[in-house]
Amino acid sequence: MITQNHYTKRITLADIARVSGFSISTVSLVLNEAPLSRYVAASTKEHIRAVASKLGYRPDAAARSLRSRRSHTIGIMVSDISDPFCTLILQGIEKALHSTTYLPIIMIAHNQRKQFGRHLEMLMERRVEGLILVANWLFGEFDQLADIRKSQIPMVGVGRDLTASRVRSLQVDNEAGGYAAAQHLYELGHRKIAVLRGPSELADSDRRWNGIQRFAAEAGLSLAPELVGQLSPADDPTSEFEGGYRLISSMIEKGAEFTAVIAFDDLTSLGAIRALRQAGRHIPKDCSIIGFDDIPHAAVNTPGLTTIRQPMEQMGSMAAKWVLDSLADTKSHTTVGPSSLTGTLHLLPPELVIRQSTARRLVDMRATPVTRLSVASQGRARRKKR
């Protein structure tokens, strides 16, 4: 016999059966509103439900999932929970899953390979029916994923391109974003534009840079080498702030001339802004600056940060929907399933959000543009690329 449990006794179907005087089967039928319960007398149903609720019955998920061979859960692996980028994606996933019978099981990897593997293992042991990888930074490649793929579980990566690990991925169109950023500044009259590229190990860095270069080529804009900096590789996202600060500080020290800055992302912009302010430059009067991401802080910063917005919530809910669709397919059709889509990369259009950190490059412009209040939906223009 098992050691008598010290917890409050768990109420089981058997208890309800005993108290109500009906069999376990009947009780189960009734409480689950199973098809067969049509034939159960209404009075019986009522009685059983009353007993169940009086006893505080709660079905045991473990027993249920053991029997039904379904966990009704979807694993979410988040690389960094303190990054608003991940958090917003998470929010999108949550919302998409909310109306379904699936429960998200969220795991936090803290950007550490070891944690990642360990947590992945736990998710598999819990027999999640789908897997979403939310990545903000380096995810690298993972042999373990190959292992997982064999299990036929629908899997999608969101935020970063994980196709190198043969995972279907969803992310913003970085190149279009870079292009749009350059275009925006160009159209405002800027010709001497500094660019702060992202760290080299991040594929996104090059994509954004390519977009910038593509626009420059098309517009006949030249990007002076001394105005192009690159963030150093780092595992810590907050180092981006310092990176932006250092790069711009050093450009200013060297006497480089520029009237606008394209930063790798919003955090980098904030670093750049501090550097500019310390040098006594006003934004956007003396220098415009544009970021990337549209993290929540961008809107509440002063000046409001003009940026290239990633539709993070949308990315999250889209990823969730992909998984749900695969799940539906797998259940109704044959074994073929979604494996055919392995390795696909899907790009979502970014959105230019104009706030107060960018302004027309003019000699006679007013001291400072009128700053309006609205946080979220202000001055937004869409420019879809590709």
Partner DNA sequence: TTGTACGCGTTATCAA
Partner DNA sequence: TTGATAACGCGTACAA
CA distance linking residue 167 with residue 142, whole number of Å: 10
| Residue 8 within binding range of DNA, rule CB under 7 A | no
Q: Please, what is the minimum distance in Å from the beta carbon of residue 40 to a second copy?
A: 23
Min CB(341)–a second copy separation in Å: 18
Regarding 4 and contact with a second copy (CB under 8 A), the answer is: no
Query: Where does this chain touch DNA (CB under 7 A) — which range of 21-29, 151-159, 213-221, 248-256?
Result: 21-29
Closest CA to 351 of 305, 300, 307, 320: 307
Alpha-carbon distance of 81 to 107, in angstroms, equals 9
Contact flag: residue 165 with a second copy (CB under 8 A): no
Look at residue 271 and give the partner it binds from DNA, a second copy, none, a contact being a CB closer than 5 to 8 Å depending on partner kind: a second copy
Using rule CB under 7 A, residue 12 touches DNA = yes
Strand 351-353 relative to strand 260-262, pairing: unpaired
Could you say which of 1, 300, 367, 370 contacts DNA (CB under 7 A)? 1
Q: What is the CA radius of gyration of the chain?
A: 27
> What does the alpha-carbon distance between residue 248 and residue 244 come to, in Å, rounded to a whole number?
6
Among residues 44 and 249, whose Cβ is nearest to a second copy?
Answer: 249
- Asked if 75 touches a second copy (CB under 8 A), the answer is no
- Choose the contact partner of 40 out of DNA, a second copy, none; CB within 5 to 8 A by kind: DNA
Instruction: By CB under 7 A, tell whether 13 contacts DNA.
Output: yes
Judged by CB under 7 A, how many residues of this single chain contact DNA?
33
When binding is defined by CB under 8 A, the residue of 250, 325, 371, 380 that contacts a second copy is 371
List helix spans (H) across 254-340.
266-278, 296-300, 312-332
Of the pair 50, 62, the CB lying nearest a second copy is at 62
Distance CA 127, CA 132 (A): 14
Burial call 335-354: b when 16+ CB within 10 Å, e when fewer: eebbbeeeeeebbbbbbbbb
Q: Which of 375, 380, 381, 384 binds a second copy (CB under 8 A)?
A: 375
Q: Which residues of 287-300 are buried (b: 16+ CB within 10 A; e: fewer)?
A: bbbbbbbbbeebbe
For residue 59, state whether it binds a second copy (rule: CB under 8 A): yes
334-353 residues near a second copy, rule: CB under 8 A: 334-335
Residues between 49 and 108 that touch DNA (CB under 7 A) = 57-60, 63-64, 66-69
Minimum distance of a second copy from residue 197's CB (angstroms): 20
Judged by beta carbon, residue 73 or residue 171, the one nearer DNA is 73
Q: Can you tell me the distance from the alpha carbon of 297 to that of 243, in angstroms, rounded to the nearest whole number?
A: 18
DSSP E strands, the chain: 73-78, 103-108, 130-134, 155-158, 169-172, 193-197, 228-230, 260-262, 288-293, 306-309, 345-348, 351-353, 380-381
Q: Give φ, ψ of 16 to 5 degrees.
A: -65, -40
Residue 360 touching a second copy (CB under 8 A): no
C-alpha distances in Å from residue 165, one per residue of 80, 143, 184, 223, 362: 19, 8, 35, 34, 48
Rounded-to-integer distance, Cα 375 and Cα 131, Å: 34
> Which positions ≥6 away from 263 have C-beta within 8 Å?
196, 244, 269, 271, 272, 289, 290, 291, 292
Which residue in 1, 7, 99, 363 binds a second copy (CB under 8 A)?
Answer: 7
Q: Interface with a second copy by CB under 8 A: which residues?
A: 2, 5-8, 10, 56, 58-63, 65-66, 69, 71, 81-82, 84, 87-88, 90-91, 94, 98, 103, 105-106, 108, 110, 115, 121-122, 124-127, 147, 150-152, 238, 241-242, 245, 267, 270-271, 273-274, 277-278, 296-297, 299-302, 330-331, 334-335, 371, 373, 375-376
Q: What does the binding site for DNA look like in residue numbers (CB under 7 A)?
A: 1-3, 10, 12-14, 21-26, 28-29, 31-32, 34, 36, 39-41, 44, 57-60, 63-64, 66-69
